[in-house]
Amino acid sequence: MRQLPPLSDPSYGFSPTPFGECCIAFSNDGICALTFPETRESALRDLEHRFPETDFHQNDEKAARLVRSIFEKTKMPRLNPIGTEFQLSIWNALQQIPAGKTTTYALIAEAIGRPKAVRAVGTAIGANPIAFLIPCHRVIRTDGSLGGFRWGLECKKAMLEWEKK
């Protein structure tokens, strides 16, 4: 397993969003995870899996402030995605997709200069640790169907509709 960089003052919290309750993890370095788990327990297991050496502290107040700023669009928080160089290149490409628009896995592969890496692109998109802010929900299949989404297709549809407003 690769060594993760240490997080400065790592915390997490739960907060309501337009798409259900989220779990957001953050440090002084920025947001490192934003998920829409089925349960709080599954969210904590996910954090432990992603950051095995990190001792997160629960801070629902700060989580609520961050989430409010995200969904009221008052301020784009700093992100701290942690992944491989390839994953980071994909996640950066996802952030270039305008709100309310979609693109395909193949176009993302082309955008990073790896047109034959469509499957690897899909895998990297599926590993996105910061849902919504790194907008993996904006990626659809070439045939126009929604494809998969870790948090469920209903959540993906809701995000796309919300962004169109």
Q: Hey, where are the domains in the chain?
A: 11-71, 85-164
Tens-place pLDDT, residues 131-141? 999 999 999 99
Residue 9: half-sphere exposure toward Cβ, Cα within 13 Å:
6
Can you give the pLDDT at residue 73? 81
Task: Using DSSP bridges, classify how beta strands 11-17 and 57-58 pair: parallel, antiparallel or unpaired.
Answer: parallel
Q: Helix 85-94 vs helix 118-126: angle between axes, to the nearest 10 degrees? A: 80
Give the CATH architecture of domain 85-164: Orthogonal Bundle (1.10)
Mean of the pLDDT values across residues 101-120? 95
Can you give the pLDDT at residue 105? 95
Average pLDDT, rounded, for the chain: 93
What are the residues whose beta carbons fall under 8 Å from the beta carbon of 73, sequence distance 6 or more? none
pTM of the model: 0.91
Can you give the pLDDT at residue 1? 42
Q: What angle do CA 91, 135, 32 make, to 5 degrees?
A: 60
The residue among 29, 31, 99 whose CA lies nearest residue 65 is 31
Catalytic position from the list 22, 32, 136, 155: 136
Mean of the pLDDT values across residues 23-36? 96
Q: Is 136 a catalytic residue?
A: yes
Can you give the pLDDT at residue 128? 95
Tens-place pLDDT, residues 43-96? 999 999 999 989 999 999 999 999 999 999 877 899 999 999 999 999 999 999
Could you tell me the sign of the dihedral formed by the alpha carbons of 81, 87, 91, 96, in that order? positive
Residue 111 in this model has a pLDDT that exceeds 70: yes
